[in-house]
């Protein structure tokens, strides 16, 4: 059913052949769909999968259209050459729709690594900078080699896979109804221009969506790294009891806060400056990070954003052991947002480094009241209780921490230390 000899183009003959072959092709498609679903579900990519066996009317119309194209390139009187055939590679087809362009790229890489690719076509790549239209990646995948189906020998069983973003799919559906199925007249040129403008806007939105997602992913990665640096500093400078006595932290002389200046360009956005600051922060360039956080504060952001920046800057001060300045920034954050769990937690940690266990306990209490499942705060409070000699409460908090993260080995080891100090 993929290769149709021009001499065999007869609706009656092809309809009969289609009726016999359709169940076999549908079975191939169903098995392939199950395999693709299982493969993509392991990747974490969000997607929608649709598949279809081409309806006979659509199939026959495509045969006629391709046969006409063959005829248009041959002698007017003789028609297509003897033995000519039209190829219909998309009798069975699949569409995989992803929210973002990079997801579609990942899906393509996965498919190409798993299945035999016969052809790849990037629809729309030949458009000039002034042209807009349907865009997608079409992959032609081989499901089987030479196979007999319904009494006819097929050279190979193919499936066309279309990879699109959500917006590309929306445009394709509309275009199919308004352009592909319709017959335009010369008077319809204004409509074509309007549709081209809509498509241009959708293409732009697709790019913006991808840029926003890339920013969010980079931001989350920088925030993850920054949290790890805090944990590392705590573990290194406030080791658990079995590691030996905890020396008083060396805070060193306090330096003046650097002049934030305002070297940012007029086109520098708050988002890009925040990412730059976090990147410097994670590399241990604390002074540079403080300067950039300070520049952000000079831009007078909303109070909710200002509280977040104070926390970031406070953590940069904390990273460079400037505890008093860190304390001031976390306090400023809490003045703007009295229910900020992270601000209470980080201020509690600073108090621990400053050996003020009572203030540390008060802040960690606030944190746990606001969020009873805040693992870091519960575990930190267990260590503060231990330092104060309250082993019962330390044991209770260890139990709470293990309820949140049962496999955390640091808590399990600390629990054994706590148990060694008290009899139950």
What CATH number is given to the structural domain containing 366?
A: 1.25.40.10
Q: Is residue 154 part of a domain?
A: yes
pLDDT in tens, 165-198: 998 888 887 776 766 555 555 556 777 777 777 7
Residues 142, 59, single domain; the answer is yes
Overall domain count for the chain: 2
Q: Is residue 260 part of a domain?
A: yes
The answer to whether the CB of 169 falls within 8 A of the CB of 44 is: no
- Burial class from Cβ neighbours inside 10 Å (0-12, 13-18, 19+) for residue 23 reads exposed
pLDDT in tens, 145-160: 888 887 777 778 899 9
Q: Which of 324, 341, 371 is the C-terminal boundary of a domain?
A: 371
The answer to whether the CB of 336 falls within 8 A of the CB of 310 is: yes
For residue 111, what pLDDT is reported?
A: 94
Residues 6+ apart with CB under 8 A from 234: 349, 380
| Structural domain for 320, as ranges | 212-371
Residues 163, 219, single domain; the answer is no
Q: Is residue 410 part of a domain?
A: no
Asked if the model's pLDDT at residue 379 lies above 80, the reply is yes
Residue with tokens 């052949």: 17
The answer to whether the CB of 254 falls within 8 A of the CB of 322 is: yes
203 or 305, greater pLDDT: 305
Residues 126, 250, single domain; the answer is no
For residue 255, what pLDDT is reported?
A: 37
Asked if the model's pLDDT at residue 258 lies above 60, the reply is no
| C-alpha–C-alpha distance, residues 318 and 349, integer Å | 9
Residues 18, 140, single domain; the answer is yes
Helix axes 303-319, 323-336, angle to 10 degrees: 160
Residues 364, 278, single domain; the answer is yes
For residue 73, what pLDDT is reported?
A: 52
Average pLDDT, the chain: 83
| C-alpha–C-alpha distance, residues 240 and 185, integer Å | 80
User: What CATH number should be reported for the domain holding residue 19?
Assistant: 3.30.460.10
| C-alpha–C-alpha distance, residues 394 and 385, integer Å | 5
The answer to whether the CB of 171 falls within 8 A of the CB of 202 is: yes
For residue 337, what pLDDT is reported?
A: 93
Q: How many Å separate Cα 117 from the centre of its chain? A: 26
Asked if the model's pLDDT at residue 308 lies above 80, the reply is yes
Q: Is residue 192 part of a domain?
A: no
For residue 79, what pLDDT is reported?
A: 52
Residues 80, 163, single domain; the answer is yes
Handedness of CA 262, 267, 268, 271 (dihedral sign): positive
The answer to whether the CB of 95 falls within 8 A of the CB of 162 is: yes
Q: Is residue 203 part of a domain?
A: no
pLDDT in tens, 98-144: 999 899 999 999 999 999 999 998 876 665 545 555 678 999 999 98
| C-alpha–C-alpha distance, residues 283 and 93, integer Å | 49
| C-alpha–C-alpha distance, residues 291 and 215, integer Å | 22
For residue 268, what pLDDT is reported?
A: 59
């Amino acid at each position: 059913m993929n290769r149709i000899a021009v001499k065999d183009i007869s609706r009656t003959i092809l309809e009969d052949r289609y009726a016999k072959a359709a169940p076999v092709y549908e079975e191939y498609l169903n098995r392939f769909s199950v395999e693709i679903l299982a493969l993509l579900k392991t990747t974490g990519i969000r997607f929608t999968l649709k598949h279809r066996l081409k309806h006979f009317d659509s199939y026959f119309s495509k045969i006629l259209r391709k046969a006409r194209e063959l005829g248009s390139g041959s002698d007017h009187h003789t028609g297509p050459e003897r033995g000519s055939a039209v190829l219909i590679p998309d009798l069975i087809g699949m569409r995989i729709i992803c929210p973002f362009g990079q997801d579609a790229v990942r899906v393509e890489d996965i498919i190409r690594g798993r299945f035999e690719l016969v052809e790849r076509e990037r629809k729309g790549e030949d458009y000039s900078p002034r042209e807009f239209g349907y865009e997608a990646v079409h992959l032609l995948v081989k499901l089987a080699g030479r196979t007999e189906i319904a009494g006819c020998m097929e050279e190979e069983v193919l499936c066309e896979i279309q990879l699109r973003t959500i917006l590309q799919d929306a445009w394709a559906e509309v275009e199919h109804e308004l352009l592909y199925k319709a017959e335009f007249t010369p008077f319809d040129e204004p409509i074509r221009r309007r549709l081209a403008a809509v498509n241009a806007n959708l293409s732009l939105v697709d790019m913006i969506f991808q840029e926003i997602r890339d920013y969010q992913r980079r931001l989350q990665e920088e925030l993850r790294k920054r949290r790890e640096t805090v944990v590392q500093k705590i573990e290194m400078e406030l080791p658990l009891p079995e590691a030996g006595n905890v020396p008083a932290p060396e805070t060193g002389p306090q330096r003046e806060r650097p002049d934030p200046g305002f070297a940012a360009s007029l086109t520098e956005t708050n988002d890009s400056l925040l990412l730059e600051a976090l990147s410097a922060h994670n590399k241990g360039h604390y002074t540079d990070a403080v300067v950039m956080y300070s520049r952000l504060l000079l831009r007078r952001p909303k109070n909710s954003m200002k509280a977040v920046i104070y926390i970031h800057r406070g953590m940069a001060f904390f990273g460079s052991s400037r505890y008093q300045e860190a304390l001031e920034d976390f306090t400023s954050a809490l003045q703007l947002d009295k229910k900020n769990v992270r601000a209470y937690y980080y201020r509690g940690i600073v108090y621990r480094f400053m050996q003020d266990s009572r203030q540390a306990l008060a802040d960690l209490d606030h944190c746990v009241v606001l969020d009873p499942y805040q693992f870091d705060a519960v575990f930190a409070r267990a260590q503060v209780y231990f330092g104060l000699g309250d082993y019962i409460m330390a044991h209770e908090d260890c139990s709470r921490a293990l309820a949140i993260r049962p496999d955390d080995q640091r808590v399990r080891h600390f629990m054994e230390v706590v148990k060694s100090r008290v009899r139950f």
